[in-house]
Amino acid sequence: MPYITVGVENSGPIDLYYEDHGVGTPVVLIHGFPLSSAEWEKQVPALLMAGYRTIAYDRRGFGNSGQPANGYDYDTFAADLHTIMTELDLRDAILVGHSMGTGEVARYLSRYGSARISKAVFIAPIPPFLMKTADNPDGLDKRMFDGFMTTIANDRPAYQTAFLKDFFSWDQNMGKRVSEEAFRMNWNIATMASPIATLASPGTWLTDFRADVSRIDVPSLIIQGTEDRVLPFPLTGQRLQAALPGSRLIALEGAPHAIPWTHAPEVNQALLDFAAMREPAMAGR
């Protein structure tokens, strides 16, 4: 399995697992919490068949990547992505993030610029800013995220069951858009993640990306379900589109957080249409 070393912890390297398939314009896929690059199972074949080179990697602490005890913040996540971009010498690339992965897209473009990037895709995004503050009064109370961390510390496997039920909107989609087998597969991936990385993740969701978003200068696409139970659509996708002039927002009516799986045909078509566009995406829904 291929790995790229992004750092060192004590006596061992911090290695990120990645897969690199196909030829053509590179599309870099950045997964969400609490999964791995395996979450792109339904997107990779579609991209390959359409003639794109696809690169998917596991964030530190998740999947087959190293599980260090540090580095669980968006400056480090973006630096890890930068290492992948430079080590593989990717150019004219399309960055595609889902959920937690959209933070990497925003912070990377803010810190490292768009010299290697042609377009950006935010699927069920975290940006621009989730936490309730004086200048963000409609955000979510920090105590909610503190509660997530307490539950993770007390019983991480049980937390993942509850989280994935919201992730897939299990009560609505079980046996329809999500099988019990697929749910178990994702639970297995989630529980293989580092306990430290899992515990650290909810705190990163409160990162303020507003300044990062203001620096994004590439055509951008936002895709989100209107019934997202993990990242509420009015606080995330709608606000992100308003903060990115010229971006395009595709709202999937009634869809959950896990749209790369539950609404793969719609997501794939949107990705391919956007990737093929030669003019900047226009605002709209």
For β-strands 220-225 and 248-252, DSSP reports them as parallel
| Distant-in-sequence, close-in-space partners of 75: CB < 8 Å, separation ≥ 6 | 107, 111
Q: Are 210 and 129 in contact (CB under 8 A)?
A: yes
Based on the residue annotation, tell me whether 82 is a catalytic residue of this protein: no
Based on the residue annotation, tell me whether 99 is a catalytic residue of this protein: yes
* Share of residues in the chain with pLDDT > 70 (%): 97
Q: Residue 227's pLDDT is what?
A: 98
State the pLDDT confidence band at 11, using cuts at 50, 70 and 90.
Answer: very high
pLDDT of 104 > 90? The answer is: yes
Q: What is the pTM of this model?
A: 0.96
Q: Residue 279's pLDDT is what?
A: 53
pLDDT tens digit sequence for 157-203: 999 999 999 999 999 999 999 999 999 999 999 999 999 999 999 99
Q: Residue 168's pLDDT is what?
A: 98
**Statement: 3-276 belongs to CATH 3.40.50.1820:** yes
Catalytic-labelled residue, pool 36, 80, 201, 257: 257
| Distant-in-sequence, close-in-space partners of 233: CB < 8 Å, separation ≥ 6 | 224, 225, 226, 227, 251
pLDDT tens digit sequence for 126-142: 999 999 999 999 999 99
Based on the residue annotation, tell me whether 214 is a catalytic residue of this protein: no
Q: Residue 266's pLDDT is what?
A: 97
Catalytic-labelled residue, pool 65, 228, 247, 263: 228
Catalytic-labelled residue, pool 99, 110, 169, 201: 99
* Residues forming beta bridges with residue 53, ordered by sequence position: 26
Q: Are 106 and 213 in contact (CB under 8 A)?
A: yes
What are the structure tokens assigned to 196, written together?
């430290």
